[in-house]
Amino acid sequence: MSGFLPVNRKEMQERGWDQVDFVLVTGDAYVDHPSFGTAIISRLLESRGYKVGILAQPDWKGPEDFQRFGKPRLGFLINSGTVDSMVNNYSVQKNRRKRDVYSPGGKTGRCPDRAVIVYSNRARQAYPDMPIIIGGLEASLRRFAHYDYWDDKVRRSILLDSRADILIYGMGERAVLEIAEALDSGIEAGDISWIRGTCIKAKAAEEGGTLYLEEDDVILPAYERLMDDSPEAKAAYNESFRMQYRSNDSVLGKRLLEQYTDGFYVVQNPPPQPLERQELDDLYELNFERTWHPSYDEEGGVPAIDEVRFSITSNRGCFGGCSFCAITYHQGREVRSRSCESIVREAELMTQDENFKGYIHDVGGPTANFRNPSCEKQLKHGMCGRKDCLFPKPCSQLNTDHDDCTRVLQEVSKVRGIKKVFVRSGLRFDYIMADIRKGGKSSSGYRFLEELCRAHVSGILKVAPEHSSGKVLRQMHKPDISVFDAFASEYRAMNKRLGCRQYMVPYFISSHPGSTLDDAVDLALYMKKTGFVPDQVQDFYPTPGTLATCIYYTEKDPFSGRDVYVAKDPMEKKMQRALLHFNKKKNEKLVRQALQRAGRTEAEKELLGGRRR
């Protein structure tokens, strides 16, 4: 019998099961690896004695495939997959993607648009009385009314469009276990209203419902105030975003309520406590098969596993606060990490894989060099609601110690059978510099940089300054470019001292809110001056749940109230992108047009040299 959880009735019966407790529906192919949320949630439930069937990429044209296992005992758990289905299916230009790395063989078309809504409604058709619980990134980031880039309008909460009973937001391990226990004890799904990390739909008691408003509830602007694109609606949208952002903390978070025209509220219970170190260790050491289900072998497997098969997740959460990143809204700003011993055990397990060649591709997380909570105060009093840890400058209370990061890399490197351990997930260079500036060459940040350069860079270190313009970086909540320049200098000096020939490739974002054509020209000139040639350029992609998307929609900073320039003209966006790859001949015409439109023709010679028109 396969060690995988069953994917059909035959495999269920081979386990001796007459019925599953939960059918877990996902828009990804079934990969039983801890980098995939479906694997984590299903193995966690299995570890507590629940029977879970995996319904991966079902036929959504009708309800029949949702009856594959028969009627589950407790309910359906539904996610869109690892990423939002609209992001997975469409490029930022709204063109259909030609490849889906989360599908067998990279083939497209196996996951529908707005997968959570489609799957939930099909499950409701299959078994009208079955509890439906939605979760994962797509549900989490769309839990309240949200601007939708693909429809170019504010859509209502996905909880309503999906007709689900409960929405789990954020990292859902605590919530899913509490829901399972409640359902198993006989409580109706509609009565499960108290669990942290969940959203429900309820009507106020004074209107005949069961929802009693409490004194410290936070009432968000009603959906009807957000529906159109008037200045008043956008002001209300910004107000709602501010209130949500400041309540997204397990210590300080309150219950949030958003009212709809039918008299119902979407109610968000406070965020759950993050998993602590022992809980994370236990979770990541569950009995994963660490590969795709064998039914995909004939199609060549699932490409998404290539980058993570021999990578190790060491931490969760991020207090970096980049405005274009959804981690703040999904995982939260509270950082927690696994123990060094647990990470080493996972590395030892990898060496037993017949496909392992001796290289750990990554040890990291949302930010690889965050291993500790941001400060001691945060543990007791919560994250600061009106202040970032690193922006505009590192907080004086910030814990910048890197010794634990260094120790983890050193200990994993000692495991027999491992030749090299790389760090490829994001590094916050400003966090490293904050420590170096405190203690110089005796600082833990300097020791970490030395260890990194000595043994954990694969020839090229990828870092993300994102832009060079001060006003654009302020909208991104990123440090001034001078901080990146200082880090680049330290990196070069360290490699020279160690005798290593290693380079650095920066990541930049084009057309981010705040960026004008003039800013894009300055960025191109900065790259020309410094010699940095970007490996990847990413157009800003407005996705639900981020500060930058809020600014993109309203064209105002929701915290300061100031107007922000937003490039929405498709031609200007093409020009900004072309400027970031000014060195490519195919972009020459667009670069010239951009320089003319920006009134910056003086930069033509420097960027394009003596090329003829």
DSSP β-bridge partners for residue 167? 134, 199
pLDDT digits (tens, 9 = 90+) for 556-595: 999 999 999 999 999 999 999 999 999 899 999 999 999 9
Crossing angle, helix 570-580 and helix 517-530, to 10 degrees?
Answer: 10
pLDDT of residue 518: 97
pLDDT digits (tens, 9 = 90+) for 423-444: 988 899 999 999 999 999 999 9
Q: What are the two backbone dihedrals, phi and then psi, of residue 83, each rounded to the nearest 5 degrees?
A: -125, 170
Peptide bond just before 513 cis, omega within 30 deg: no
Mean pLDDT of all residues in 378-394: 90
Q: How big, in percent rounded to 5, are the helix, strand and coil portions of the chain?
A: 40, 15, 45
Cβ neighbours, 10 Å, residue 261: 10
In eight-state DSSP terms, residue 216 is T
Q: Is the per-residue pLDDT at 535 higher than 70?
A: no
pLDDT of residue 611: 53
CA 44 to chain centre: 21
Q: What is the rounded CA–CA span in Å between residue 347 and residue 334?
A: 25
- Which SS3 state, helix, strand or coil, does residue 548 take? helix
Q: Is the per-residue pLDDT at 1 higher than 50?
A: no
pLDDT digits (tens, 9 = 90+) for 111-140: 999 999 999 999 999 999 999 999 999 999
Domains defined along the chain, listed by start: 9-200 (3.40.50.2300), 459-613 (3.30.750.200)
The pLDDT confidence band at residue 609, using thresholds 50, 70 and 90, is confident
Q: Is the per-residue pLDDT at 66 higher than 90?
A: yes
Six token digits for residue 387: 């202040």
pLDDT of residue 210: 86
How many percent of the chain have pLDDT more than 90?
91
Q: What are the two backbone dihedrals, phi and then psi, of residue 574, each rounded to the nearest 5 degrees?
A: -65, -40
Arithmetic mean of pLDDT over the chain? 95
Q: What is the rounded CA–CA span in Å between residue 279 and residue 171?
A: 13
pLDDT of residue 484: 97
Give the strand pairing for 22-26 and 315-316.
unpaired
- Which SS3 state, helix, strand or coil, does residue 434 take? helix
Mean pLDDT of all residues in 538-546: 95
Q: What is the rounded CA–CA span in Å between residue 255 and residue 267?
A: 7
pLDDT digits (tens, 9 = 90+) for 485-520: 999 999 999 999 999 999 998 999 999 999 999 999
Closest CA to 257 of 248, 266, 270, 245: 266
CA 94 to chain centre: 20
Closest CA to 44 of 166, 146, 143, 172: 172
pLDDT digits (tens, 9 = 90+) for 245-287: 988 999 999 999 999 988 899 999 999 999 999 999 999 999 9
pLDDT of residue 10: 96
Q: What is the pTM of this model?
A: 0.95
Give the strand pairing for 460-466 and 503-510.
parallel
pLDDT of residue 605: 92
Six token digits for residue 353: 């894989």
Closest CA to 372 of 437, 318, 330, 449: 318
Contact 554, 238 (CB under 8 A): yes
Q: Could you write out the DSSP letters of every residue in 45-82?
A: HHHTT--EEEEES---SSSGGGGTT-S-SSEEEE---S
pLDDT of residue 40: 98
Q: In sequence order, which residues have a C-beta less than 8 Å from that of residue 560 and are 6 or more positions away?
A: none
477: left (phi over 0), alpha (psi -120 to 50) or beta: left
Closest CA to 167 of 186, 141, 185: 141
pLDDT of residue 420: 97
Q: Is the per-residue pLDDT at 149 higher than 80?
A: yes
Please tell me which residue, 544 or 609, carries the higher pLDDT value. 544
CB-based burial label for 260 (10 Å; 0-12, 13-18, 19+): middle
CA distances from 462 to 312, 313, 325 (A): 18, 18, 17
pLDDT of residue 610: 53
